[in-house]
């Protein structure tokens, strides 16, 4: 059969389906009819020398002409059609990794070639979200042993790019399950680079939170650097803090995370493969993993932390990575600000040794920097924290941080939002609890992270005594409308900061 | 915060996402901004006294106004908005069954209340396809034991409706993993009803095949009967063959199947829960399960059939259902026709005792009808096939079939397609193999099941000797264009019927 029977002209649907390629066709178009395509069919589209496997959504009204196929943003990006391009549509062959997926679902152990086939099909978009969900579920808990974790990590590495920094140690840090406001990374990078080490740090933007490290850093310097620009910053200053999205270190992991996030299974094997594949791809040689432990943190107990730690160390060893784990307190938020500019302000006040700098953020950054210095080759173990503290006190860390910002494109002092309004205590008493989830929601309603200066400034901590009429926290916003959204929500939920009046 | 902040006017998107509720909003609309919604967020939409949890797709061009939300067909059907209705959007609470799902993913056994919560959230669309895929994977293979299979089946039953036929036996049959052309059901129902039994049969339409039983039956009589119409047919004639889609017997299973089909895991626990929940909901008391066994069938070996049989029997017992299993030959297609009218013609030629009737279809229908008669209360076990044969030979089955058609709305003789063309053998030799998948594709290209008379008529069987120039099969089509599609494909694949010339 000639290809012309299954051709349609391509148009852009303008619909964002978050990385998942979708193609829209009219129910009555000749391709749906001759190929027997119906809603949710997986279809192969070829245009020029590119192809994509996409999920079909069927248009049943007259919004779409019969001779066109509309592509979601993800499908459009992969096919990159020229003007008036056509695509040929057909049924894709079953993915090469289908037998491996099936074997894992039915409880069999997989080997390196199986994981390689699975990760290759993952990055080539040949597995649907429900197939990826099946793989993730079949690998949850004890279903992925340590050897399989190692094989999966190696497979993730193999289907992506790996940065080569030449000889010498490359340090890195990662926090498993972050806390609100826990913006230690810029401080740690500044200290470690000031100590003379190489630390090329990539960070993420906010996904569901009011700010990611990349968002906070972007208030002070450009972060969307490509690989070559990142390399020249690190060659000059030893360290950088850039957005990982423009470097695409572990494309397989980026796709798995899309499905893992809504499932929220926190499986040790997946965490280890995700973190270590990214660190190895980044060319790191010595890595510190910060594991906050607490009843509402990702890792809830010392026993769970010990299991995760053992798997991290075994996998790092197999990859030839030096690795150390620091368990930290996962009970409370860290720092004052929530939102990009407010968190950047906290970071700078710590680096500047301001008397009013948040003590908890400073202390935690020194713990992590110290532990990382202890991992580095040639370190006198146990001396790291003192070295870190000295570099911070002396202003060396601040100098290094400003130099890194300069190398990334220039330092900017964080701005302040034009609209700031306090939320007041409606009674006198002691702070019993803080609802971090709702506090983060107020910061988002106020505009964070879209509006960099928006967010929350909160100096209240559990145990503090407070008078009725005193401010509990301040809302920062870029527009009166956003300020109102946030304040409306705050007054509808007066117990976000819970004040106990009894003894 | 007042609800007005998160309201949008509802419009119909006209997009079919196959049962999966999707809502489309513009990236810059105030609801996306204030609620922090991004692509694939799960959102709760309330309008009037109805609500739906849907997946968000974000529109990034100017196809959608800022003050509206567009609903996919499934979301529209659930919300049923009046003209100019608005909906209030928010983040849904996590589904009540989330802890049970998590427990199952991490390998724990579930109890009846867990399965009930899962099935309730399933029918209320509170679980995403990704979560359903996780549940299905976590229940695959030996991960669902017999007790859990029973609990799952009961939960599926509990969240749907159950037909009450009053006292007395209600017979039913089901085939696990059908074969092309295996249209035994109308013959079996006619024979069993002619024997004086009650057999209210619901069947499906084609999903990926050129015809389902409901499609073939619809050529001869109306099948889209509601529950009350179905009841009156059965009260009058003892049997019916109607489309299950208008009766909605196991809504939870319908949703799980949407996700199971692309995964194609064929897990025993799921098959048993799916089949028996539907049979119990249909009010059946005595069921015959036909299991075709063969290397390319769903059940591949006698050992696999035995395991499935044991689980079917244990679960049926727990539900108080009489159940018997018949293992049949799953090697070859059955009958001559592929396509609704062509299969209906085969059914009628068997019922009419035509000399040219396909022997394999006749023999298989008698095996199944006989086994079902043996299951019925008061039967002399082993005599069923002889009784069935006598009812067929005497014309009693034909009379009963015509009476059932009459009761369903009137019998129509199957039509014949206006365009019929043979595909000829290009060499002389013996038929070595038939590619059933491609043969079915030709039938679909010719228009089946949309065009009821379209399809394939194939008398060739493996082992038959054939001369070059003799017809291998005939293509039937309603239009010259569809005929051409099908013939083009056939000539591009000359080995669909493989002819060996050697010894």
A99 and A35 in contact (C-beta within 8 Å)?
A: no
pLDDT at position B180 over 80 = no
SS3 B381: coil
Higher pLDDT, A136 or B299: A136
Q: Which residues of A touch B16 (CB under 8 A)?
A: 27, 39, 57-60
Q: For the CA atoms of B366, B372, B376, B378, what is the dihedral angle to 10 degrees?
A: 40
* Mean pLDDT for the stretch of residues A229-251: 91
| C-alpha pair distances (Å), A193 with each of A147, A163, A220, A369, B94 | 34, 19, 18, 10, 43
Give dist(CA B210, CA B439) in Å, integer.
Answer: 10
Say whether pLDDT at B81 is over 90.
yes
Q: Tokens at residue B467, please?
A: 């001369």
Which CATH number covers residue A337? 3.40.1030.10
Please give the backbone phi and psi of residue B29, each rounded to the nearest 5 degrees, phi first: -70, 155
Of B183, B174, B176, nearest to B211 (Cα)?
B183
3-state secondary structure of A292: strand
Task: Mark yes or no for CB contact A16/B27 under 8 Å.
Answer: yes
Beta bridge partners of A74: none
How confident is the model at residue B434, as a pLDDT? 83
- Is B310 found in the same domain as B207? yes
Q: Which of A133, A142, A443 would best serve as a mutation to test chain B binding (most B beta carbons within 10 A)?
A: A133
Exposed / middle / buried, residue B296 (Cβ in 10 Å: 0-12, 13-18, 19+): exposed
Averaged pLDDT, B347-355? 97
Q: A106 and B141 in contact by Cβ < 8 A?
A: yes
Query: How far is it, in rounded angstroms, from Cα B418 to Cα B482?
Result: 12
Give the lowest-confidence range in B134-143, B233-242, B405-414.
Answer: B134-143
Q: Which residues of B touch A15 (CB under 8 A)?
A: 24, 57-60
Q: Do A141 and B107 touch (CB under 8 A)?
A: yes
Q: How far apart are CA A44 and CA A128, in angstroms?
A: 12
Work out the mean pLDDT of chain A and round it to a whole number.
Answer: 91
Interval B419-444: pLDDT, tens: 999 999 999 999 988 887 788 889 98
For residue A33, which residues of chain B lie inside 8 Å, CB to CB? 450
Q: Examine the pLDDT at A42 and tell me if it is beyond 90.
A: no
User: A43, A75, A108, A130: best mutation site toward chain B, by most B Cβ within 10 Å?
Assistant: A130
B16 vs A18, A60, A141: nearest CB: A60
Contact by Cβ (8 Å): B214, B203: yes
Residue with tokens 């980026």, as numbered in its chain = A254
- Chain A CB contacts of B42 below 8 Å: 262
Tokens of A29: 């178009």
Between CA B121 and CA B128 the distance in angstroms is: 10
**Which of B408, B430, B449 is a domain's end point?**
B408
Instruction: For residues B75 and B16, give the distance between their C-alpha atoms in angstroms, rounded to a whole number.
Output: 10
Which percentage of chain B shows pLDDT scores above 70?
97
Contact A39 B59 (CB under 8 A): no
Q: Which residues contact A266 (CB under 8 A, 6 or more apart)?
A: A177, A298
**A195 with A301, same domain?**
yes
Q: Cβ of A469: how many Cβ atoms within 10 Å?
A: 11
One domain for residues A203 and A243? yes
With beta carbons under 8 A apart, name residues in chain B contacting A211. Answer: none
Express as a percent the part of chain B with pLDDT over 90. 67
Instruction: Point out the domain boundary residue: A408, A430, A464.
Output: A408
Residue A434, beta-bridge partner list: A497
The neighbouring-strand residues paired with A141 are none
One domain, residues B152 and B179:
no
Nearest CA in chain B to A260: B130
What average pLDDT does the structure give for chain B?
91
pLDDT, tens only, A322-346: 999 999 887 667 889 999 999 999 9
| DSSP designation for B339 | S
pLDDT in tens, B468-485: 999 999 999 998 888 988
* pLDDT at site B265: 75
The mean pLDDT value for A2-31 works out to: 85
Q: Which residue has the tokens 């993420």?
A: A204
* B171-175 and B286-293 strand pairing: parallel
Which residue range is the domain that position B473 belongs to? 419-500
Structure token digits, residue A261:
């996030």
Quick check: A216 and A347 in contact, CB under 8 A?
yes
Residue B259 inside a domain? The answer is no
Considering all CA atoms of chain A, what is the largest pairwise distance in Å, rounded to the nearest integer? 83
Does A289 lie in the same domain as A389? yes
Q: Tell me, yes or no, whether A458 lies in a domain.
A: yes
Q: CA angle, corner B201, sides to B200 and B205, nearest 5?
A: 150
| Whole-number pLDDT of residue B1 | 40
The structure tokens 């400073």 sit at: A362
Residue of B14, B42, B143 lying closest to A59 (CB–CB): B14
What is the rounded CA–CA span in Å between residue A376 and residue A322?
8
Cβ A259–B18 below 8 Å, yes or no? no
Contacts of A363 (CB under 8 A, 6+ apart): none
Do B107 and B40 belong together in one domain?
Answer: no
Contacts of A2 in chain B (CB under 8 A): 488
ipTM over 0.95: no
**Min distance A122 CA to chain B CA atoms (Å):** 15
- Taking an 8 Å cut-off on Cβ atoms, the answer to whether A134 and B134 are in contact is yes
- What are the backbone angles phi and psi of residue B306, rounded to the nearest 5°? -65, -40
Residues A371 and A393 placed together within one structural domain of the fold: yes
B174/B170 Cα distance (integer angstroms): 14
Q: How far is B406 from chain A (nearest CA, A)?
A: 32
Distances in Å between the alpha carbon of A459 and those of A337, A358, A431, A464?
Answer: 9, 9, 12, 10
User: Does residue B2 carry a pLDDT above 70?
Assistant: no
**With 50 as the cut, is the pLDDT of residue B209 above it?**
yes
B379 falls within a domain: yes
Are A331 and A393 members of one domain?
Answer: yes
Residues 6+ apart with CB under 8 A from A94: none
User: Comparing B228 with A91, which gets the higher pLDDT?
Assistant: B228
**What would the two tokens of residue A79 be?**
């096919």
3-state secondary structure of A456: strand
How far from each other are the two terminal CA atoms of chain B, in whole angstroms?
Answer: 83
| pLDDT for residue B271 is more than 60 | yes
**The tokens of A159 are what?**
């289907």
**pLDDT at position B296 over 70:** no
**Rounded to 10 degrees, what is the CA torsion of B339, B340, B343, B349?**
-140
CA angle (B475, B476, B478) in 5-degree steps: 140
pLDDT per residue over A353-404, tens digit each? 999 999 999 999 999 999 999 999 888 889 999 999 999 999 999 999 999 9
Q: Considering only alpha carbons, which residue of chain B is nearest residue A18? A: B39
- Number of structural domains in chain A: 4
Edge-to-edge strand list for the sheet holding B286-293:
B171-175, B286-293, B322-329
Judge if A235 and A289 occupy the same domain: yes
Helix (H) or strand (E) holding B199: strand B199-203
Going by C-alpha positions, the residue among A214, A213, A251, A247 that lies closest to residue A231 is A247
Closest CA of chain B from A475, distance in Å: 15
Give me A113's structure tokens. 């070639």
Query: Would you say residue A345 lies in a domain?
Result: yes
> What residue ranges in A285-402 does DSSP mark as E strands?
286-293, 322-329, 337-338
Q: Give the pLDDT confidence of B181-197 residue by residue, as tens digits.
A: 679 999 999 999 999 99
Long-range contacts of B31-39 (CB under 8 A, 24+ apart): B31/B5, B31/B6, B31/B7, B31/B69, B31/B89, B32/B58, B33/A450, B34/A445, B34/A485, B34/B5, B34/B6, B35/B6, B35/B89, B35/B90, B35/B91, B36/A208, B36/A441, B36/A444, B37/B89, B38/A18, B39/A16, B39/A17, B39/A18
- Tell me the C-alpha distance between B130 and A259, whole Å: 7
The catalytic residues of A are 266
For residues A241 and A426, the answer to whether their CB atoms sit within 8 Å is: no
Query: Is A367 in the same domain as A307?
Result: yes
Residue A1's pLDDT band (cuts 50, 70, 90):
very low
The lowest-confidence range among A308-322, A352-366, B3-17, B445-459 is B3-17
Query: How far apart are the C-alpha atoms of A419 and A482, rounded to whole Å?
Result: 9
Asked whether residue B195 falls in the same domain as residue B329, the answer is yes
> Which residue from A minimizes the CA distance to B142?
A106
**Chain CA centroid to CA B301, Å:** 23
Supply the CATH number for residue A142's domain: 1.20.970.50
Per-position b or e across B447-456, b if 16+ CB within 10 A of its CB: bbbebbbbbb
Contact between A57 and A39 under an 8 Å Cβ cutoff? The reply is yes
Task: Give the closest residue to B312 by CA, choosing from B287, B349, B347.
Answer: B287
* Whole-angstrom distance, CA of residue A382 vs CA of residue A374: 6
pLDDT band at B260 (very low <50, low <70, confident <90, very high): confident
User: Residue A463 maps to which CATH number?
Assistant: 3.90.1170.30
DSSP letters spanning A463-499: T-EE-TTSEEEEEEESSHHHHHHHHHHHHH-TTSEEE
Confidence of residue A311 (pLDDT cuts 50, 70, 90): very high
Mutation target to probe the A interface, by most A beta carbons within 10 A, among B7, B134, B255 is B134
Do B97 and B112 meet the contact criterion of CB atoms below 8 Å apart? no
Of A239, A272, A305, which marks where a domain is finished?
A272
Round to whole Å and give the CA distance between A282 and A239.
Answer: 13
* Marked catalytic residue, from B266, B329, B435, B484: B266
Give the closest residue to A142 by CA, choosing from A264, A308, A302: A308
Residue A436 lies in a domain: yes
| Best residue in B21, B41, B137 for a mutation probing chain A (most A CBs within 10 Å) | B137
| CATH code for the domain in which residue A59 is found | 2.40.40.20
Contacts with A107 from chain B: Cβ below 8 Å? 141-143
Three-class SS of residue B16?
strand
* Cα B440–chain centre separation: 17
Please check whether residue B413 lies inside any domain of the structure: no
Contact at CB, A106 and B16, closer than 8 angstroms: no
User: What per-residue confidence (pLDDT) applies to A254?
Assistant: 83
Q: Give yes or no: residues A14 and A155 share one domain.
A: no
A296 confidence band (pLDDT: 50, 70, 90): low
B191 assigned to some structural domain: yes
Could you read off the pLDDT of B93-114 as tens digits, one per residue? 889 999 999 999 999 999 999 9
Residue whose structure tokens are 């298989």: B364
Whole-number Å distance between alpha carbons of B285 and A270: 47
Is there a domain that residue A214 lies in? yes
* Total residues belonging to chain A: 503
* Cβ atoms of A341 and A219 closer than 8 Å: yes
């Amino acid at each position: 059969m000639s290809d012309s029977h299954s051709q349609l002209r391509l148009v852009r649907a303008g619909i964002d389906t978050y990385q998942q390629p979708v193609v829209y066709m009219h129910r009555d178009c000749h391709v749906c009819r001759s190929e027997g395509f119906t809603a949710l069919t997986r279809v192969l589209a070829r245009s020029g020398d590119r192809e994509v496997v996409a999920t079909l959504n069927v248009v049943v009204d007259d919004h779409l002409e019969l001779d066109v196929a509309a592509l979601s943003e993800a499908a459009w990006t992969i096919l990159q059609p020229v003007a008036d391009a056509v695509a040929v549509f057909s049924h894709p062959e079953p993915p090469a990794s289908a037998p491996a997926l099936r074997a894992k679902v039915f409880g069999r152990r997989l080997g390196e070639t199986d994981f390689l086939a699975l990760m290759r099909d993952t990055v080539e978009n040949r597995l649907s979200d429900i197939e990826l969900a099946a793989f993730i579920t079949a690998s949850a808990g004890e279903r992925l042993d340590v050897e399989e974790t190692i094989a999966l990590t190696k497979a993730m590495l193999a289907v992506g790019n790996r940065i080569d920094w030449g000889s010498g140690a490359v340090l890195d840090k990662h926090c498993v399950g972050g806390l609100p406001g826990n913006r230690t990374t810029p401080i740690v990078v500044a200290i470690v680079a000031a100590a003379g080490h190489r630390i090329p740090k990539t960070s993420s933007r906010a996904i569901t939170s009011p700010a990611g490290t990349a968002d906070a850093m972007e208030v002070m310097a450009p972060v969307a650097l490509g690989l070559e620009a990142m390399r020249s910053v690190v060659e000059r200053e030893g360290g950088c803090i850039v957005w990982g999205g423009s470097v695409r270190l572990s494309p397989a992991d980026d796709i798995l995370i899309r499905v893992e996030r809504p499932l929220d299974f926190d499986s040790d094997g997946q965490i280890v493969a995700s973190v270590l594949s990214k660190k190895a791809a980044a060319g790191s040689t010595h890595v510190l993993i910060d594991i906050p432990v607490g009843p509402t943190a990702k890792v809830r107990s010392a026993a769970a932390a010990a299991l995760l730690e053992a798997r991290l160390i075994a996998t790092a060893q197999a990859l030839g990575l030096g690795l150390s784990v620091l368990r930290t307190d996962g009970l409370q938020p860290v720092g004052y600000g929530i939102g990009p500019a407010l968190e950047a302000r906290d970071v700078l006040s710590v680096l500047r040794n301001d008397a009013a700098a948040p003590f908890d953020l400073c202390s935690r950054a020194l713990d992590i920097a110290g532990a990382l210095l202890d991992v580095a080759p040639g370190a006198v173990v146990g001396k790291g924290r003192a070295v870190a503290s000295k570099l911070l006190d002396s202003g060396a860390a601040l100098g290094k941080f400003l130099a890194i910002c300069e190398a990334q494109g220039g330092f900017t002092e964080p701005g302040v939002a034009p609209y700031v309004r306090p939320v007041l205590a409606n009674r006198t008493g002691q702070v019993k609890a803080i609802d971090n989830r709702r506090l983060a929601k107020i910061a988002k309603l106020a505009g964070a992270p879209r509006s960099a200066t928006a967010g929350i400034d909160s100096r209240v901590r559990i145990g503090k005594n407070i008078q009725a009429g005193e401010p509990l926290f301040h809302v920062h916003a870029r527009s009166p409308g956003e300020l109102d959204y946030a304040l409306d929500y705050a007054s509808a939920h007066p117990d976000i900061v819970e004040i106990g009046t009894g003894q």
